[in-house]
Structure 1
């Protein structure tokens, strides 16, 4: 099992670079950031762009993997995103992972002046988006006409450092998203039950993930893939569980999900006076000691 972190893009780089370097020093497998224009309670607070932040982080670090968790079609187009990704993969020396999801109905969904998409349209767009992005990152030139996204002789030379392209970690809980994870993903991401922490008791949270893993396995079987080929990533912070309260709480939580088949845990870097407020000293002990205590 691997342990990674999410660093919100809220810091001016004069201080933010120290956080990303510290994440590497602590031994995290990867450091991700949210790809939003703004997000929930941070809407009126500092919030920087994910791709420039990750590019800067790539130059400030040398080992840790970097990525989005997650990018969505809400304000992205596959053609321009592909160009940014091959550049970031190059700057990072092949350390980029693309977490990608369908997006939601938050602030990003209407920031460009569009009407919010229905759940059906969002899913349809996501499927087309992922398929085109996959091709763009694999081919030197791409032409494809879609219902929502098209490319006309879009060039991506020299392509990704990672072959055949940067890995996709597909965030999905529904059937269409799980099919995309099975067809295009090198990893699958869940944050738990989409209903949120208020609706799912702590003791029921693991069974939610177990059910999702069963559906992922079925989707992989239907696609002719071994579900064991995919990383299974759990993003902490959207359930009523409190694994960052102590090292013991983390070990208990991590062990439970390792038994279910989760291969990578992602915990939020503490942000004071926010929903991600946690003791930094405890967090750093979890980073350096937590997995070792699993045995």
Structure 2
């Protein structure tokens, strides 16, 4: 399968002060998908502007025509499946069926306590995620859903007329552990990883590739358990979190080398962050745009 190139546009700019222009430019550059983070705030951006993912994607849907749109990723930290499903069906309709839901178990960041709760343990996050994804699958696929679980409930929740994309919009499930990989294998149309977080600070690019190879092998095993061909799933690498995180956007040749090595592992989509000055995602915009326009041609 040929490689796709996507971007992640963080929602930190006012719509009329550069926000809209970035999404339109992403489409002009030919990105397959433009994603955004679904957080209430995030890391070093916490004390600055930060806007909601679904309204941002709705606005982006109104000013673009071809490019797919999505979250990378949504999590249960502050979402409920019933209300999220209604928003996603609306967004899928407004966009004309161009939405992908990136979804993960969430972490221990600011979202985890913004509603006043104690942070969930890793086990509880996994337990909630294991209930969240199947319920959301039903809510996006069925006209009426009733459900009573350990963490989430729905009572005659109506979602008519459903998604434009049938039987529902695609899920890109972020996972590295066994339970998450099983969810990706059963419910995902794509799988997402950022690599091995233990290698972020002191690992090497070679160690990262080996860790990613192991993740893809475990995904294949999870798919086999579901009697599913692992090649049915797109495999998305969200860049910026591997030991060589700064290298790929240094030059076109550096990106082509990076992308080629990961394509050999079976990745079908690479997502790069839209440059943000004075941040972990700072990059030369001219190099970034050249990568967007020329990289896939060199990888073909």
TM-score by length of structure 2 reads 0.97
Question: Matches of 1:78 and 1:111 in 2, distance apart?
Answer: 18
CA contact (8 A) 1:234 1:262 kept: yes
Match for residue 218 of structure 1 among 207, 217, 221: 221
Match for residue 278 of structure 1 among 279, 283, 288: 283
Long gaps (5+) in structure 1 = none
Match for residue 107 of structure 1 among 110, 133, 139: 110
Q: Which residue of 2 aligns with 1:244?
A: 249
Question: Matches of 1:258 and 1:218 in 2, distance apart?
Answer: 19
Match for residue 177 of structure 2 among 150, 174, 178: 174
| SS of match in other structure, 2:214 | helix
CA contact (8 A) 1:72 1:102 kept: yes
What is the Cα deviation at residue 199 of structure 1? 3.4
Cα RMSD between the aligned structures?
A: 0.6
What is the Cα deviation at residue 196 of structure 1? 4.7
Question: Matches of 1:186 and 1:199 in 2, distance apart?
Answer: 32
Match for residue 92 of structure 2 among 89, 104, 112: 89
What is the Cα deviation at residue 203 of structure 1? 2.1
Question: Matches of 2:9 and 2:170 in 1, distance apart?
Answer: 20
Long gaps (5+) in structure 2 = none
CA deviation vs aligned residue, 1:4-28 (integer Å, no higher than 9, x gap): 0000001100121000000000000
1:36 aligns with 2:39: yes
TM-score by length of structure 1 reads 0.99
1:257 aligns with 2:259: no
CA deviation vs aligned residue, 1:106-141 (integer Å, no higher than 9, x gap): 000010000100000000000100010000000000
Question: Matches of 1:200 and 1:154 in 2, distance apart?
Answer: 47
Match for residue 237 of structure 2 among 219, 234, 239: 234
CA deviation vs aligned residue, 1:124-175 (integer Å, no higher than 9, x gap): 0001000100000000000010000010000000000000000000000000
Which runs of structure 1 show a deviation greater than 3 angstroms over 4 or more consecutive aligned residues?
A: none
1:5 aligns with 2:10: no
1:49 aligns with 2:52: yes
| SS of match in other structure, 1:195 | helix
1:125 aligns with 2:124: no
1:198 aligns with 2:221: no
